[in-house]
Structure 1
Amino acid sequence: MTESVDMNIFLWIVAGLLAAAFLAAGLTKLTQDRRKLIANPNMAWTQDFSARTIKLIGTAETLGALGLILPGAFDIAPILVPLAATGLAVIMIGAIITHARRKEPQAIAINAVLLILAVPVAIFRFGPNSF
């Protein structure tokens, strides 16, 4: 029983950290003009994508962040939690590919950490630690 409670707490903490990171990243992409994003050295990759695609990525990140927390917190369609984590993991795989093509190792490392954090949430919220 304690092991299950400990895993649940761990998954909530990881989901909370992921949600904060993806909410910030998603809202930045949604609220900033593409030219402003391109001017930011950490967001130079945006020059490879249309404004519409950047908004789509920002929307997916924002919805994923909300999907990590709200369904579990309100016990409404909790299957959305592992689905959100899976979706964010897929986004991070795409981000890693994009940054690898651009030879941006620091960004790859950040995306890899987010991917590594999203995978256990996706796996364990589908399994025995689902809500």
Structure 2
Amino acid sequence: MNTVLWILAGLLAVAFLASGGMKLARSKEQLAASGMGWTEGFGQGTIRLIGVLEVLAAVGLVLPALTGVAPVLVPLAATGLVLVMVGAIVTHARRGETPMIVVNVVLLVLAAVVAWGRFGPYAFTS
């Protein structure tokens, strides 16, 4: 199970690093043109904040465990992603974007599994 949690954390890190990086690198208009219509309901600062949270969570999913420095940050980062995904689900539900809700639910479940595993039976011990 430890290997599964590492794989899930790695996949989530890649996904959120890419997603957050895109939110940081592109303008609101570019994001909307690339299919992120939800950005129309948010200001540029809020979109950048979401990007920063996603990038920090991506780093927090793997770096603390790899370095052995504050590995408790791994389940905290996963829990943060669960909260980000709850917000994404609400946003997409309000816009009637059902396919995106499915993607968000899958990411939420994966992040919840990592949080459960790293807080619980497969926590990093010192």
TM-score, normalization by structure 2: 0.97
Pairs aligned (count):
124
Deviating above 6 A after TM superposition, structure 1's stretches of 4 or more consecutive aligned residues are: none
What pairs with 1:43-122 in structure 2 (closer than 5 Å)? 43-122=36-115
Quote the residue 1:125 is aligned against: 118
State the distance in 1 between where 2:61 and 2:106 align: 17
Gaps of 5+ in 2: none
State the distance in 1 between where 2:43 and 2:27 align: 11
Question: How many percent of aligned residue pairs carry the same amino acid?
Answer: 56
Amino acid at match of 1:129: Y
Gaps of 5+ in 1: 1-6
Q: Residue deviations 1:64-100, cap 9 Å, x none?
A: 0000000001110000000000000100000000000
Cα RMSD of the aligned pairs, angstroms, is 0.6
State the distance in 2 between where 1:120 and 1:35 align: 34
Amino acid at match of 1:40: S
Match of 2:15 among 21, 40, 56: 21
